[in-house]
């Protein structure tokens, strides 16, 4: 627009909106003023995250063109400097209660400090399993929509192709064209066996494991890829005798330095192997915890439950889930068995403690570089504690060495998921509830508060785009992109509600839907639906399905409709049968 007094022009970009206000001199001898301003347009909440304002004064009209060009150059630079950096940290197979700030006896001072300086979510969810959670986190879609409804084997059905498909985009693929330096370190596990690599899905720099499952260079599954190319475990570019938990942080900070040199905000996706099996840690770390678990899973679980109540993480009406019938009481174990179980949990605690130390190293590195205050840091786990290997766990070899094979097993996983039922794989709360910490000094002004809004890993995409000023595409590389399923968590940061109709889950036939405080959940394809009021009973001990059959049927129908829409169905066997039927019809048989 233009007036006698001045002229204004708005320049739109995928992220920021640039405004230029030019005020012409009213009297001879006055200078023309050019005032650029930047405002953010995020997702659904559109907060004014970043704003730059400055003034140029021009001696006469003849410099207007040059001043305007100069402003056009400065605006993107100023916006890049003010936009927050983003670090997403995902850990592997950690139970809901395994951090100090979620009730654990395991010392995690660095994550506790982030929680004290930020927010803890009490009802944050993953998908219940490794690969599906990674796909949902990266894409903002339910995992089947992204092609990773199970693991990384191609099962033939659209939702189970074992790799990220072409109907999704990653956070990196959206933030990169918006000006972010995108980097990944750690476990990938979304289809590298099919050629799907971080560098092929939007990450400028990456040091990754295709599938994880190792800590030391000599591990059977220890394979590293630098920007998509396999490198030797003793490559001179790597630290000597590295431990994977530390390696991911070392390279994460290296990539941060490259982003700062390029004068770009950064998005770092850091995915730990820890505390996934095979549990391995340096001897000095394990020694810190040896003997501390001889009180047993019952007593230590009760102590975690008491701390959770004291912290306000859970309600007094939520009874602690009982010990599974397959797990013996601690008192029924022989002294030799108790000593073995103590050592198993000492190794697990060591991997968690060392992971916390590496996050402390990351925080210190960001502080030293002067970027910590304007970095949004999000921390979560890919599923609940892991009961694989059964109630006895596994303790093969020396856990300080790469050839060993140690699992916690069901007995300790019961403790790790306190106070919830079930484990990794399942859609009961023990399988899908995750600790979630959000820390951002510049953007989250409240400290040490809890957020009780239900949230999910699908929400991380929307959150990153919201604060990063990026726009989710309808097409990418000539392919139609499925609409984003998640919601920005920015309103929840300000303790406002998140508007959504429902949350859904499915893995290996285990299934669930949550609408408000009601949750419908089942075990396996043929298990009966169970109905729970999570506000009164989040530990899922009082099944309401028989007393509320209409509500059960309504939620089941809603889940069925979602399953058809989100490529959960047809299941792989059904899809194979449908293909055979079509082939027979086509051949006339």
DSSP letter string, 356-390: HHHHHHHHHHHHHTT-STTEEEEEEESSS---TT-
Model confidence at 578, pLDDT cuts 50, 70, 90, reads: low
Residues listed for the chain: 589
Model confidence at 416, pLDDT cuts 50, 70, 90, reads: very high
Query: What angle separates helix 409-416 from helix 335-368, to the nearest 10 degrees?
Result: 50
CA dihedral over 170, 514, 416, 101, signed as positive or negative: positive
Bridge partners, 396 (sequence order) = 405
Instruction: Give yes or no for a cis peptide into 419 (omega within 30° of 0).
Output: yes
Q: Which residues are the active-site residues? A: 130, 189
- Say whether pLDDT at 50 is over 90: no
For residue 52, the tally of other CB atoms under 10 A from its CB is: 17
Q: How far apart are CA 586 and CA 589, in angstroms?
A: 8
3 state SS of 118:
coil
Q: Is residue 471 within 8 Å of 153, Cβ to Cβ?
A: no
Q: How far apart are CA 191 and CA 153, in angstroms?
A: 8
Q: Is residue 116 within 8 Å of 163, Cβ to Cβ?
A: no
Q: Is residue 426 within 8 Å of 358, Cβ to Cβ?
A: no
Q: How far is CA 290 from CA 42, 81, 97, 347, 475, in A?
A: 49, 47, 20, 8, 54
Q: How far apart are CA 148 and CA 158, in angstroms?
A: 9
At 123, which helix (H) or strand (E)?
Answer: strand 119-125
Instruction: Provide mean pLDDT across the span 169-178.
Output: 98
- Say whether pLDDT at 10 is over 60: no
Query: Domain 6-81 falls in which CATH fold?
Result: N-terminal domain of TfIIb (2.20.25)
Bridge partners, 364 (sequence order) = none
Burial 405-436 (b: 16+ CB within 10 A, else e): ebbbbbbbbbbbbbbbbbbbbbbbbbbbbbbb
455-456/119-125 β-pairing: parallel
Q: Is residue 144 within 8 Å of 568, Cβ to Cβ?
A: yes
Side-chain-side CA neighbours of 292 within 13 Å: the count stands at 16
- Say whether pLDDT at 14 is over 50: no
Q: How far apart are CA 521 and CA 517, in angstroms?
A: 13
- Say whether pLDDT at 437 is over 60: yes
Could you give the percent of the chain with pLDDT greater than 90?
83
User: Which CATH architecture describes the domain 84-498?
Assistant: 3-Layer(aba) Sandwich (3.40)
Q: How far apart are CA 365 and CA 494, in angstroms?
A: 28
Bridge partners, 475 (sequence order) = 480
- Say whether pLDDT at 43 is over 50: no
Tell me whether the CATH fold assigned to 6-81 matches the one assigned to 84-498.
no
Give the pair of three-digit tokens for residue 343: 């050592």
Q: How far apart are CA 453 and CA 489, in angstroms?
A: 9
Bridge partners, 521 (sequence order) = 512, 530
Q: How far apart are CA 323 and CA 390, in angstroms?
A: 14
Q: Is residue 298 within 8 Å of 304, Cβ to Cβ?
A: no
Model confidence at 530, pLDDT cuts 50, 70, 90, reads: very high
Task: Count, in order, helices (H) and strands (E) of the chain.
Answer: 14, 23
187: left (phi over 0), alpha (psi -120 to 50) or beta: beta
Give the pair of three-digit tokens for residue 165: 């498909």
Bridge partners, 226 (sequence order) = 207, 229
Q: Is residue 521 within 8 Å of 528, Cβ to Cβ?
A: no
Q: How far apart are CA 233 and CA 272, in angstroms?
A: 17
Q: Is residue 450 within 8 Å of 412, Cβ to Cβ?
A: no
3 state SS of 311:
helix
| Closest by CA position to 209, among listed 188, 184, 239, 193 | 188
Q: Which residues contact 188 (CB under 8 A, 6 or more apart)?
A: 134, 197, 198, 208, 209, 210, 211, 271
* Residue boundaries of the structural domains of the chain: 6-81, 84-498, 507-584
- Say whether pLDDT at 176 is over 60: yes
Q: CATH says 507-584 is which class?
A: alpha beta
Burial 227-253 (b: 16+ CB within 10 A, else e): eeeeeeeeeeebeeebbbbbbbbbbbb
At residue 481, the pLDDT reads 98
Q: Is residue 441 within 8 Å of 370, Cβ to Cβ?
A: no
Model confidence at 576, pLDDT cuts 50, 70, 90, reads: low
| Closest by CA position to 89, among listed 407, 387, 433, 457 | 457
CA dihedral over 311, 315, 319, 322, signed as positive or negative: negative
At residue 575, the pLDDT reads 58
Q: Could you read off the pLDDT of 52-76 as tens digits, one per residue?
A: 333 333 444 444 444 444 444 444 4
At residue 573, the pLDDT reads 84
For residue 125, the tally of other CB atoms under 10 A from its CB is: 26
Model confidence at 3, pLDDT cuts 50, 70, 90, reads: very low
């Amino acid at each position: 627009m233009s007036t006698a007094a001045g002229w204004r022009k708005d320049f739109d970009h995928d992220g920021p909106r640039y405004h230029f206000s030019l005020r012409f001199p009213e009297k001879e001898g006055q200078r023309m003023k050019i005032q650029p301003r930047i405002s953010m347009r995020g997702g659904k909440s559109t907060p004014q995250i970043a704003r730059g304002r400055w003034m140029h004064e021009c001696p006469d009209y003849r410099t207007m063109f040059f001043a305007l060009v100069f402003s056009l150059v400065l605006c993107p630079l100023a916006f890049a400097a003010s936009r927050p950096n983003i670090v997403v940290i995902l850990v592997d197979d950690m139970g809901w209660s395994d951090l100090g700030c979620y009730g654990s006896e395991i010392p995690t001072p660095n994550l506790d400090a982030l929680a004290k300086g930020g927010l803890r979510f009490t009802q944050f969810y993953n998908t219940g399993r490794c690969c599906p959670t990674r796909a949902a986190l990266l894409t903002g879609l339910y995992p089947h929509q992204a092609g990773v409804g199970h693991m990384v084997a191609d099962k033939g059905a659209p939702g189970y192709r074992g790799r990220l498909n072409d109907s999704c985009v990653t956070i990196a693929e959206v933030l990169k064209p918006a000006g972010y330096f995108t980097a990944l370190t750690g476990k990938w596990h979304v289809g590298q066996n099919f050629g799907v690599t971080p560098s092929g899905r939007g990450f400028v720099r990456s040091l990754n494991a295709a599938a994880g499952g190792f800590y030391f260079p000599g591990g059977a599954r220890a394979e590293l890829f630098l920007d998509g190319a396999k490198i030797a475990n003793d490559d001179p570019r790597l630290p000597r005798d590295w431990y994977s938990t530390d390696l991911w942080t070392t390279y994460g900070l290296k990539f941060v330095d490259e982003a700062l040199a390029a004068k770009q905000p950064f998005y770092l996706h850091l995915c730990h192997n820890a505390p996934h099996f095979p549990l391995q840690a340096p001897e000095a770390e394990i020694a810190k915890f040896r003997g501390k678990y001889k009180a047993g899973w019952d007593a230590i679980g009760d102590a975690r439950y008491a701390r959770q109540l004291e912290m306000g993480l859970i309600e007094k009406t939520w009874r602690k889930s009982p010990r599974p019938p397959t797990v013996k009481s601690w008192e029924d174990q022989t002294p030799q068995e108790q000593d073995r179980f103590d050592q198993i949990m000492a190794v697990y605690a060591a991997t968690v403690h060392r992971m916390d130390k590496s996050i402390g190293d990351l925080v210190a590195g960001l502080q030293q570089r002067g970027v910590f205050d304007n970095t949004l840091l999000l921390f979560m786990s890919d599923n609940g504690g892991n009961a694989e290997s059964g109630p006895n766990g596994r303790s093969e070899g020396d856990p300080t060495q790469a050839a060993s094979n140690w699992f916690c097993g069901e007995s300790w996983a019961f403790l790790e998921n306190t106070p919830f039922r079930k484990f990794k794989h399942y859609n009961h709360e023990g399988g899908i509830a995750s600790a979630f910490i959000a820390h951002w000094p510049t953007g989250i002004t409240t400290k040490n508060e809890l957020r009780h809004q239900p949230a999910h890993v699908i929400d991380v995409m929307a959150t990153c785009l919201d604060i990063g000023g990026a726009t989710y595409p309808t097409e990418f590389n000539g392919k139609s992109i499925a609409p984003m399923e998640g919601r920005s968590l920015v309103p929840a940061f300000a303790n406002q509600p998140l508007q959504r109709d429902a949350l859904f889950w499915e893995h290996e036939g285990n299934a669930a839907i949550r609408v408000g405080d009601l949750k419908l959940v089942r075990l396996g394809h043929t298990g009966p639906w169970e109905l729970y009021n999570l506000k009164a009973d989040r530990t899922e001990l009082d099944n309401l399905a028989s007393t509320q059959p209409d509500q059960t049927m309504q939620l089941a129908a809603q889940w069925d409709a979602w399953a058809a829409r989100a490529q959960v169905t047809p299941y792989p066997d059904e899809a194979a049968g449908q293909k055979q039927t079509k082939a027979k019809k086509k051949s006339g048989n």
